[in-house]
Structure 1
Amino acid sequence: MPAPIPLLDIRAWVVWGRDHVEAATLAKVGIAAAAIYSFFAIAGEVMEGETHGFDSYLLLALRNAADPAQPLGPTWMQEVLRDFTALGGNAVLTLITLAVAGFLWMQGNRRSMLLVLAAILGGFAMTSLLKLGFDRPRPDLVPHSMTTYTASFPSGHAMLSAIVYLTLAVLVARVQTRRSIKIYLLTTASLLTVIIGVSRVYLGVHWPTDVIAGWAAGAAWALLWWTIASWLERSGVVEKEITTEPKSVVGSPAS
């Protein structure tokens, strides 16, 4: 029986992981760990008040210098950003999650559907707990362009959009046959997450560090559930990921 690895021997754990865990899984866990570390590093700075200068500078940089109550750009831009920010609201995210769950059900991927619902519901719960735990006040430098009801840190829109869109993209991409569709899903989810987060700062309802921390926590959550999906797949619990594209059908030459 091999000797146990000392708990603090990082090098030994890396060697063990390289020998016993797939490289892709190690990469996912490593990136997720880096995202989690980033979240708590930002949270620590926020709680100590060290980010106020950075937050204030970026928030005011998106405002008219002559009148900080007015965001930069034409009036219609505020409406556009309100539309984008709505894509990260609880109602929209719930509808999208249910729509994707229904799609997986109709495809026959029932276990993947349950995995999606567990990941998203857990993400909603985690976001609420973090907001209650940190209880950071909303920005007071500029007027809010939207009504807010909860604490500021982390940004619920940024975190939940990352959780929902990235998790759905990853888990739905698993059961798609074409690589181009997988790439499209992941790229679209990433762009949506970024746009929604930026809109929250532009509208004055979040500090920039709220959004950055939300992105980090949401990305970590999506990566961890991607890893869980891979493990459940190897265990035969959920459907296998489809990695081969369908062969093109070539018609027979005309006689």
Structure 2
Amino acid sequence: MAVLPQLPLWGLWVALLSAAVLTLGFVATGIHGFSAGEFTVDQELSRTHDGFLTAVAMTLNYVFSPAGGVAIIALCALFLLIVRKSPVNAIAFGGTAAAGYLSSQFFKAIVERQRPNPALLFDPLAPETGSNSFPSGHVALAVGLAWAFWFLARNTRWSRLAVILGVLVPVVLAWSRLYIGVHYPSDVIASFLASSAAVLLFVGVWNRFQGRLLPRMPLLDRFGPVRPDAAPAAHS
């Protein structure tokens, strides 16, 4: 992971994806009746709760919570650092996943969309309130982790599995946030865009500066010198 796959004109992609997130957020909060129309999806899902689906949704709710996300990222990074003795991979993995999650906090502070009213659900499973609905932090975390695992697994026999799970897990998690009733559909859609924008930004910065910064980090000396890498090439 010393050099990560990088899109041509990555800065433009970051700007376009971020603009799409902000546009969707301001439309959702600025157009009267937009949220009410979306909320019907949450209400219909709330009518059909059953034991198994509820168990799946609530498990995902806790696993991909902020605390759970920190634990996942930290454990994976420590595994790469201590077991695999790969500090570069540990830093790149942690940075990629964290960037995906932190994107949600950035856009939440700008858009400030109120969460769906749990009192209007037929079966509220995890009542939440506040102006932090857009976008979903849970989904943004899952997307960031998906990118991080794919970067780690690419060019290995695990690459295809990383792609499959990297699509499946965030999609199922997005469904679970609507099933529980704590987000609107546009919240979870925006999470895919926001997290991907942050990952592309991280990749661009990482590829630009890692060759200068990593050799200066004292921690890396314990695992041997960092080999110089060629300048990153653009990948489609």
TM-score of the superposed pair, with normalisation by structure 1: 0.68
Contact persistence 2:115–2:133 (CA under 8 A) = yes
Give the drift of 1:42: 0.6
Distance between the aligned counterparts of 1:171 and 1:219, measured in 2? 13
Give the drift of 1:232: 5.1
SS at match of 1:112: helix
Give the drift of 1:226: 3.5
From the superposition, tell whether residues 86 and 62 of structure 1 become closer, same or farther in structure 2 (CA, over 3 Å): same
Q: In structure 2, what is the equivalent of residue 58 of structure 1?
A: 41
Q: In structure 2, what is the equivalent of residue 91 of structure 1?
A: 67
Give the stretch that moved more between structures: 226-235 or 105-114: 226-235
Distance between the aligned counterparts of 1:34 and 1:87, measured in 2? 31
SS at match of 2:17: helix
Where does 1:191-202 land on structure 2 (aligned, <5 Å)?
191-202=168-179
Note if 1:181 corresponds to 2:158.
yes
Richer in helix (by share):
2
Note the alpha carbon deviations across 1:173-212, whole angstroms, 9 max, x for none. Answer: 25xx52x312222321221111111101111111111111
Where do 5+ consecutive residues of structure 2 fail to align?
215-225, 231-236
Distance between the aligned counterparts of 1:30 and 1:61, measured in 2? 38
Q: Which amino acid aligns with 2:146?
A: L
Q: In structure 1, what is the equivalent of residue 76 of structure 2?
A: 100
What is the aligned length? 208
Note if 1:42 corresponds to 2:24.
yes
Give the drift of 1:48: 0.8
Who wins on radius of gyration, i.e. which is larger? 1
Where does 1:27-38 land on structure 2 (aligned, <5 Å)?
32-38=14-20
Distance between the aligned counterparts of 1:211 and 1:182, measured in 2? 25
Q: Which amino acid aligns with 2:8?
A: L
- Aligned identity (percent) is 20
TM-score of the superposed pair, with normalisation by structure 2: 0.72
Q: Larger relative CO (CA 8 A, sep 6+): 1 or 2?
A: 2
What is the root-mean-square deviation in Å for CA atoms of aligned residues? 3.1
Where does 1:58-207 land on structure 2 (aligned, <5 Å)?
58-64=41-47, 72-105=48-81, 106-140=83-117, 141-142=120-121, 143-148=123-128, 150=130, 151-163=132-144, 165-173=145-153, 178=156, 180-207=157-184
Q: Which amino acid aligns with 1:162?
A: V
Give the drift of 1:147: 4.1
Q: Which aligned segments of 4 or more residues in structure 1 are displaced greater than 6 angstroms?
A: 233-236
Note the alpha carbon deviations across 1:89-115, whole angstroms, 9 max, x for none. Answer: 112211111121112213232123223
Q: Which amino acid aligns with 1:43?
A: G
Contact persistence 1:154–1:214 (CA under 8 A) = yes
